[in-house]
Structure 1
Amino acid sequence: MERMNKLSNRLPMSMFLLLIVLTFSKCKKDLNEVVPQDEVEMSAETQAATTTTTTESAPKALSMTNAKSDGGYAYKVNVNLGTTGDSPEKPSSSTVKIYENGVELSAAHSTHADIRKIGKGNYSHWLTSTIYLSASDNSNPKTNGKKYTYTIGGTTTTTPVGGVTTPETSPVATTPIASSNSIIGYAMVDGKTTGGEGGQTVTVSTLSALKSAVASSSPSIIKVSGKITGTGFLNVSSNKTILGMKGSSLEGVGLMIYGTNNVIIRNMTIRNVVTYSNIIIKEGAHHVWVDHCELSSDRTHGWEYYDGLLDVGKRADYVTLSWNKLHDNHIPMLIGFGDESTADIGHLRVTVYYNYFYNVSERQPSTRFGYMHVFNNYMKDGSGYAVGVTMGATVRTDNNYFENQNVPITSAYNAKPGYISGASTNVYKNSGANTVSTAASTWVPTYEYESILIPAANVPAIVTAQAGATLSL
């Protein structure tokens, strides 16, 4: 990025039902029937251990005025109903029933993933003060003209502890969330990103060999071995895959994807690039995947010595940035290089997921003009803002984890603000308030990502264990 533009599987599972003793007949009925469940993201197996019956209250109005989109068909309503909702320990304990025009919606105690992806009246009363619901016809319950009411009490089924795992609190996974060779997001929209697939494989261990290999006009897979030192940047031609082998690094030298396309960069460690960002994607470059890289500099030289770490701009498009570790830098990730770059409108479609930002100041990332999807990232220890959304950009956030961030999400800088959706899905730990001046957006990316979306609470453990140059190549 130029310095002049530096502004400011569905998993089927089953369990045996418990034996119920019929006290009056003193007979046993064997209920070890397998009950299959279809689940979109997280497991939800058993039904019924105990049944509780209470007096059902009269219907009361459920106002949708302040409902917020929670992604897909889901809407979130914050309202304290004065009764305990479902929880991780008792995921089917709520006695709240939701009605649409007097007809009960289809499935209480639904996983949040089902509400988002399937809709059709799935709903959940979660903890004390949150209702997650979908309309029966998947319309917008705020504007569809239908009346929503609720009752409390009646008959409810309570599942034993551990019977259901909800998206918000699923056990922390220790294995990769998706195939290590899978690309999710914009790099696979309107085309595919395959890199140097089908081309010659070469291994390089010197700067000159690397420069020659990335400049070749032929498709190729380039394996980088050892420590390579230099200055400036290398232009990467189209149809290239650059793979960092275990223990390799690129010191002081950046990679520039300038107007080229179909480029994959994985498992690279790039440090201390002066004047330029470590990886730059610009000038109409498209279908680029940067994955499992570690990018860093330091914060002791001031803001002007190093540029950013991973930047996208100048009409670049269809980019996915995943599982990268970005640290020790003031301005690690920028999408859109200047307020005056109106040619970026209609471009800059970028997916950012499972990245680990830490010991940085701001731009985790920041974006102008484009459409950006930010999900399951861990942003830790940021002294400025984390996600910046300006110049009419539209950003969807899903299940990110913000920790020790001065301002997690902001639109309050540059010439005009952008638009945010999904802010309520994130975790904000020891962080300040969001500063967003625009109404919540309803935009959701059309590609499939729910299969790898994990609860925000699990993000730190998973991302810190797997992000960066952790692949065995």
Structure 2
Amino acid sequence: MSLLLLLVLLTFSKCKKDSDVAKINSSSNAIESEISAVAASGSSRTLTVTKAAKDEGFSYKVYADLGTSSDTQSQPTASTVKIFENGVEIGPAHSLHSDIRTLGKGRFSHWSGSLYFSTSDNSDPRTNGRTYTYTIDGTSSVVKPPQVADPVVPVTPPSSSSSAIIGYASVDGKTTGGLGGNTIIATTLAQLKSATESNSPLIIKVSGKITGTGFINVKSNKTILGLSGSSMEGVSLMIYGTSNIIIQNMTIKNVVTYSNIIIKEGAHHIWVDHCDLSSDRNHGWDYYDGLLDVGKRADYISLSWNRLHDSHIPMLIGFGDQNTDDTGHLRTTVYNNYFYNVSERQPSTRFGYMHCFNNYLSNGSGYGIGVTMGATVRTDNNYFENQSVPIYTEYNAKPGYVSGANTNIYKGSGANRISTSASDWVPSYEYKSVLIPAANVPAVVSAGAGATLSI
């Protein structure tokens, strides 16, 4: 085994793909500990991916002998490996490593003796609960291997449908959006602006790709629904002092100067659900603002099933230590959201009352949930993975208060930095009937969050 591992190391040190030298652990003991067991099952074989190594972006690396020739610089399509996720083939094979890392969505490469791959939805294969198999003989129909007993508590995952609002957007009033108004379809920026700035109740369906700069004012009594495949780039949705607004299934990215969605100036009864919000972390901290921000006395907000990624500062609730008039406002429920490839603010809050449950915070380079300036935060069954400081109270002028910290899972994360006594606050609305066990959060939330609704 030692001789084989030495040969693998020498091979990796000389091979490139997409001008990227493969990075491996030079310790043979470390590699042996990370090799995934491969078990034959008829013409298909099972990849045990629980010890796969994180590569970069959406890419994971499995060190294993797959039993067939792999791609090389001189033979870039030599491998006959096909990969299956729960019995469904993913791909394409022979992908560039840069595409696996930045695009993912099932792309993989069997390269110089190792497998670089991404899952179909860019979730973490080590925790998403799915089975990964492969064939080497060109077979496209595989026998699904027997399921290994799952340590996760069996539950029926909650529906990610849009039928009901949970939390503060349904307290002291209702959030119905444009219910009762006409339905229109917006395919251009001008059409979308005209509809959102109308004083009439409207259900606005966004179709295709809309690009531009600046922001759109969203007036009261509006529902904005992104149709499947739609997106908006460079343009912010600003909810400024208005109320009764629902935003669902929108994909918004790369907004400069403004947050992708911003809720402020006393806006209330707002529900943002199943949106995909992103920018990038290549331009530095000051180039983009946040992805989904709430402040300036906004109130009765629910933020659910959103995918927030590729941002240094994705979610802020309470804009500054000087905004003491936010006290008694900023009541916000944050649930079933997926934060990844971010730095901090997952979210950060000041002054108000915030309830965070069933959120999946993956691979944040700074703090996860920030609680400062006397804010009170309840956490329930969140899953922190590879977070430097999962819950942090000490970084602004004064700390806030936290309850429920012991209900969360902290995997590969540092210690919480909570400098105040544990709070006993629990929100008054009912939510416990829809709680997911914390161990199930990564699989359920990574599969259901984002613009996944069939509209």
TM-score, normalized by the shorter chain, greater than 0.5: yes
2:402 match: secondary structure: strand
Cα pair 1:372 1:396 within 8 Å, conserved = yes
Change beyond 3 A, Cα 1:179–1:299: closer
User: 1:437, CA displacement in angstroms?
Assistant: 0.3
Q: Which residue of 2 aligns with 1:429?
A: 411
Q: Matched residues in 2 for 1:211 and 1:170: separation?
A: 46
Q: Which residue of 1 aligns with 2:191?
A: 209
Runs of 4+ in 1 over 4 A off after TM superposition: none
Q: Determine if the alignment matches structure 1 residue 246 to structure 2 residue 234.
A: no
Cα-to-partner distance string for 1:56-96 (whole Å, 9 max, x where unaligned): xxxxxxxxxxxxxxxxxxxxxxxxxxxxxxxxxxxxxxxxx
Unaligned ranges ≥5, structure 1: 1-164
Cα-to-partner distance string for 1:380-435 (whole Å, 9 max, x where unaligned): 01111000000000000000000000000010111000000000000000000000
Q: Which residue of 1 aligns with 2:394?
A: 412
Q: Matched residues in 2 for 1:177 and 1:360: separation?
A: 26
Alignment map for 1:93-242 (pairs within 5 Å) = 169-171=152-154, 173=156, 176-177=158-159, 179-242=161-224
In terms of fraction of residues, the more helix-rich structure is 2
Q: Determine if the alignment matches structure 1 residue 353 to structure 2 residue 364.
A: no
Cα pair 2:158 2:434 within 8 Å, conserved = no
Alignment map for 1:324-335 (pairs within 5 Å) = 324-335=306-317
Q: Determine if the alignment matches structure 1 residue 344 to structure 2 residue 320.
A: no
Q: Which residue of 2 aligns with 1:466?
A: 448
2:366 match: secondary structure: strand
Q: Matched residues in 2 for 1:197 and 1:444: separation?
A: 31
Of 342, 353, 357, the match for 1:371: 353
User: 1:319, CA displacement in angstroms?
Assistant: 0.1
Alignment map for 1:282-293 (pairs within 5 Å) = 282-293=264-275
1:432 match: secondary structure: coil
User: 1:176, CA displacement in angstroms?
Assistant: 4.2
Change beyond 3 A, Cα 1:178–1:328: closer
Give the residue type in structure 1 aligned to 2:171.
V
1:457 match: secondary structure: helix
Of 404, 421, 431, the match for 1:449: 431
Give the residue type in structure 2 aligned to 1:438.
T
Q: Matched residues in 2 for 1:178 and 1:230: separation?
A: 30
Q: Matched residues in 1 for 2:393 and 2:366: separation?
A: 13
User: 1:181, CA displacement in angstroms?
Assistant: 1.5
1:462 match: secondary structure: helix
Alignment map for 1:314-329 (pairs within 5 Å) = 314-329=296-311
Cα pair 2:306 2:337 within 8 Å, conserved = yes
Q: Determine if the alignment matches structure 1 residue 296 to structure 2 residue 278.
A: yes
Q: Which residue of 1 aligns with 2:36?
A: none
User: 1:177, CA displacement in angstroms?
Assistant: 3.2
TM-score under structure 1 length normalisation: 0.64
Q: Determine if the alignment matches structure 1 residue 397 to structure 2 residue 374.
A: no
Q: Which residue of 2 aligns with 1:439?
A: 421
Give the residue type in structure 1 aligned to 2:258.
Y
Taking every aligned residue pair, what percent have the same amino acid on both sides?
76
Give the residue type in structure 2 aligned to 1:170.
V
Give the residue type in structure 1 aligned to 2:440.
N
Give the residue type in structure 2 aligned to 1:260.
T
User: 1:170, CA displacement in angstroms?
Assistant: 2.2
Give the residue type in structure 2 aligned to 1:387.
I
Give the residue type in structure 1 aligned to 2:287.
Y
Q: Matched residues in 1 for 2:233 and 2:324: separation?
A: 34
Give the residue type in structure 2 aligned to 1:436.
I
Q: Matched residues in 1 for 2:231 and 2:414: separation?
A: 36
Q: Matched residues in 1 for 2:435 and 2:160: separation?
A: 10
CA RMSD of the aligned region, Å?
1.2
Cα pair 2:369 2:392 within 8 Å, conserved = yes
Give the residue type in structure 2 aligned to 1:220.
L
1:436 match: secondary structure: coil
Q: Which residue of 2 aligns with 1:259?
A: 241
TM-score under structure 2 length normalisation: 0.66
Cα-to-partner distance string for 1:336-393 (whole Å, 9 max, x where unaligned): 0000000100000000000000000000000000000000000001111000000000
Unaligned ranges ≥5, structure 2: 1-149
Cα pair 1:176 1:466 within 8 Å, conserved = no
Give the residue type in structure 2 aligned to 1:319.
I
Q: Which residue of 2 aligns with 1:386?
A: 368
